[in-house]
Amino acid sequence: MPLSLPARDTAHGLPLNYSRFQPPDVRLPRHIAIIMDGNGRWAKARHRPRSIGHRAGARAVNACIDACLVKGIEALTLFAFSSENWQRPPEEVGALMQLFLRALDREVDELHRRGVRVRFIGAREAFGEDIRTRMARAENLTQGNSRLHLSIAADYGGRWDMVQAARAVAHAVAAGNLAPEDIDEARLAGCFSLHDLPAPDLFIRTGGELRISNFLLWQLAYCELYFTDTLWPDFDAAALTHALDDFARRERRFGMLSEQLGEEPFP
């Protein structure tokens, strides 16, 4: 299914219609990737169990998707559960799985109705059959949609992504379909999750931590990073607008000089 994303200026990684002369609020990221962090601390501040924080976090996911639809964002990737999160106490992992299951049951049809394409990135095998079946259903149901490309990273790690990309390339070499000297960035990039989307141009991490925590390691190479102390359950449309305004003021140089971009520095 070909994607309907507009052409991209590969030299600058920018949409072809991207212009210095557009007002700041038009300089929208095409693809936002978010580490939704701070659910536990949100609950703790209210003397509630962590699972209540995760439930509030799920509501914030809906609000964020709504805001992205309103703003016309093309792709949104949400870090829901990392490869490392399996190491949390079993009762927390269990609560997260229940929440995940419920969200899949409750939200997918509505997302489909609104033209959202849903997909999951990550290892997947460790999830129960009930969850995996619902993931596959959501992906099949929504695969023809293109209003917003929503990717949920679940049992995902950037290192896992690198390993599976390396394995795919190794298979092609072993099968005699690829010479080692023909392995280049483009070939490898094509093996990573989300390879058919523009790379994220805005990364947001809520919850105050200043780290990537094994999220999209390859794909974030030239992403603009935005960190906020706001805890994920409190991240609303206004908070997203704040991040977008910050993004709009950035000058993305991709290793070059302002002059080479044909743009004056932003005020």
Nearest CA to 32 out of 92, 102, 79 is that of 79
Nearer to ligand IPE, 18 or 100 (CB): 100
Scanning 158-259, the segments in alpha helix (DSSP H) are 158-174, 185-189, 237-248
Q: Minimum distance between the CB of residue 6 and ligand IPE, rounded to whole angstroms? A: 30
* Given 29, 40, 122, 200, the residue binding ligand IPE (CB under 6 A): 40
For ligand IPE, which residue has the nearest CB? 40
Q: What single DSSP character describes residue 217?
A: T
Nearest CA to 240 out of 35, 104, 67, 48 is that of 67
Interface residues for ligand IPE in 12-31 (CB under 6 A)? Answer: none
Burial, 247: exposed, middle or buried (Cβ in 10 Å; 0-12, 13-18, 19+)? buried
Cβ contacts of residue 91 below 8 Å, gap of 6+? Answer: none
Applying CB under 6 A, does 96 fall inside the site for ligand IPE? yes
Task: Pick one of Mg ion, ligand IPE, none as the site partner of residue 145 (Cβ within 5 to 8 A by kind).
Answer: none
From 9, 17, 25, 37, the catalytic residue: 37
| Contact indicator for 147, 114 with CB cutoff of 8 Å | yes
Output the six-digit token pair for 94.
């269990």
* Given 38, 122, 198, 233, the residue binding ligand IPE (CB under 6 A): 38
| Contact indicator for 44, 52 with CB cutoff of 8 Å | no
Is 140 part of the annotated catalytic residue set? no
Interface residues for Mg ion in 29-48 (CB under 5 A)? Answer: 37
Binding mask 65-84 for ligand IPE (x = CB under 6 A): --------------xxxx--
Question: Which residues are marked as active site?
Answer: 37, 85
Interface positions with ligand IPE (CB under 6 A): 35-41, 79-82, 85, 96, 207, 209, 211, 213
Interface positions with Mg ion (CB under 5 A): 37
